[in-house]
């Protein structure tokens, strides 16, 4: 973004700042003192706002099979200030998505996650420079080895042309997702789409890749560009937002294994 014209609309007003302020003004006021996880009727792990059960946009009870995940969501509600900002509540959004739609859509979500194995990030390598290809190989070759160990070998190639993968490998990816359900499945979808890699997300699920290493492996190309050209504030803000989404998904994955 150029310096001229980016800071105002001719009247000295920054349109981006104005939009952010308007958005902030439209946020709902915080209406509760404390969020906790407790029993409601015969349901043991329910999100309670001042003792009253919270509900999803579809009016379903926000309840958890796993109390650890419940506490993660309650923590987001307790961290809110005078207003409630859903953009700062990724685990809550995942809970709403899971409760309102994951049961009916679970197989479709598994299909979508498995499809990433057919165009997995780690299969598309740069041709040059050597330093970048070396970074990719160091991070991604061990992940290809993991995939082989899982019974789903994937082919890698230099360039951006589509690399066809064996149908049996894609079928294996789909089978591996079958035991994953509920919020864990929603979190796996987030981890897969944010990294662009079925293999990275599955390695997280299986405990074979640390969260920091997973994030770094998914951003080798981006980090390389930043090392060459720097990073502007808007790009940094977008990355920080994605990282918060990723961390929330990872925390749910770790609690669900």
User: Do residues 32 and 142 share a domain?
Assistant: no
Q: What is the pLDDT of residue 212?
A: 98
User: Do residues 132 and 252 share a domain?
Assistant: yes
User: Do residues 122 and 247 share a domain?
Assistant: yes
Q: What is the pLDDT of residue 4?
A: 38
Q: Residue 42: which domain range?
A: 15-65
User: Do residues 102 and 227 share a domain?
Assistant: yes
Structure tokens at 121: 């990030």
User: How many beta carbons lie within 10 A of that of residue 150, not counting itself?
Assistant: 18
In a domain, 205, yes or no: yes
C-alpha atoms less than 13 angstroms from C-alpha of 22 in its C-beta half-sphere: 6
In a domain, 79, yes or no: no
Nearby residues of 196 by Cβ (< 8 Å), 6 or more positions away = 116, 120, 121, 218
The model's pLDDT over 26-68, given as tens digits with 9 standing for 90+, comes to: 899 999 999 999 999 999 999 999 999 999 999 999 999 999 9
The model's pLDDT over 93-144, given as tens digits with 9 standing for 90+, comes to: 999 999 998 878 999 999 999 999 999 999 999 999 999 999 999 999 999 9
User: Do residues 247 and 140 share a domain?
Assistant: yes
CATH number at residue 239: 1.10.3580.10
User: Do residues 197 and 114 share a domain?
Assistant: yes
The model's pLDDT over 217-231, given as tens digits with 9 standing for 90+, comes to: 999 999 999 999 998
User: Do residues 113 and 229 share a domain?
Assistant: yes
Per-position b or e across 70-88, b if 16+ CB within 10 A of its CB: bbbbbebbeebeeebeeee
The model's pLDDT over 3-23, given as tens digits with 9 standing for 90+, comes to: 333 334 445 555 544 444 444
User: Do residues 43 and 110 share a domain?
Assistant: no
In a domain, 174, yes or no: yes
The residue-averaged pLDDT of 147-169 equals: 95
Q: Report the number of distinct structural domains present in the chain.
A: 2
Record the pTM: 0.87
Q: What is the pLDDT of residue 24?
A: 53
Average pLDDT, the chain: 91
User: Do residues 133 and 202 share a domain?
Assistant: yes
The model's pLDDT over 196-248, given as tens digits with 9 standing for 90+, comes to: 999 999 999 999 999 999 999 999 999 999 999 998 899 999 999 999 999 99
């Amino acid at each position: 973004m150029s310096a001229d014209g980016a800071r105002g609309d001719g009247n000295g007003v920054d349109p981006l700042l104005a939009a952010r302020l308007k958005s902030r003004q439209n946020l709902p006021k915080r209406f509760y003192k404390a969020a906790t996880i407790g029993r409601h009727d015969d349901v043991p792990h329910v999100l309670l706002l001042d003792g009253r059960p919270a509900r999803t946009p579809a009016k379903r009870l926000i309840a958890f099979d796993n109390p650890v995940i419940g506490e993660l969501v309650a923590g987001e509600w307790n961290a809110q200030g005078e207003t409630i900002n859903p953009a700062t509540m990724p685990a809550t959004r995942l809970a709403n998505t899971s409760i309102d739609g994951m049961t009916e859509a679970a197989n479709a979500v598994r299909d979508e996650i498995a499809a990433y194995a057919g165009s997995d990030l780690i299969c598309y390598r740069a041709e040059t420079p050597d330093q970048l290809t070396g970074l990719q190989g160091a991070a991604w070759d061990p992940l290809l080895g993991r995939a082989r160990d899982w019974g789903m070998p994937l082919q890698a190639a230099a360039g951006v042309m589509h690399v066809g993968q064996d149908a049996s490998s894609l079928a294996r990816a789909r089978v591996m997702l079958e035991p994953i359900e509920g919020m864990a499945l929603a979190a796996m979808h987030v981890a897969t789409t944010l990294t662009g890699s079925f293999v990275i997300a599955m390695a997280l699920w299986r405990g074979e890749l640390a969260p920091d290493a997973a994030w770094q492996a998914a951003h080798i190309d981006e980090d390389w560009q930043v090392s060459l050209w720097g990073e502007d504030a808007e790009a940094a803000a977008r990355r920080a937002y994605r990282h918060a989404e990723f961390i929330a998904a990872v925390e749910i994955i770790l609690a669900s294994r």
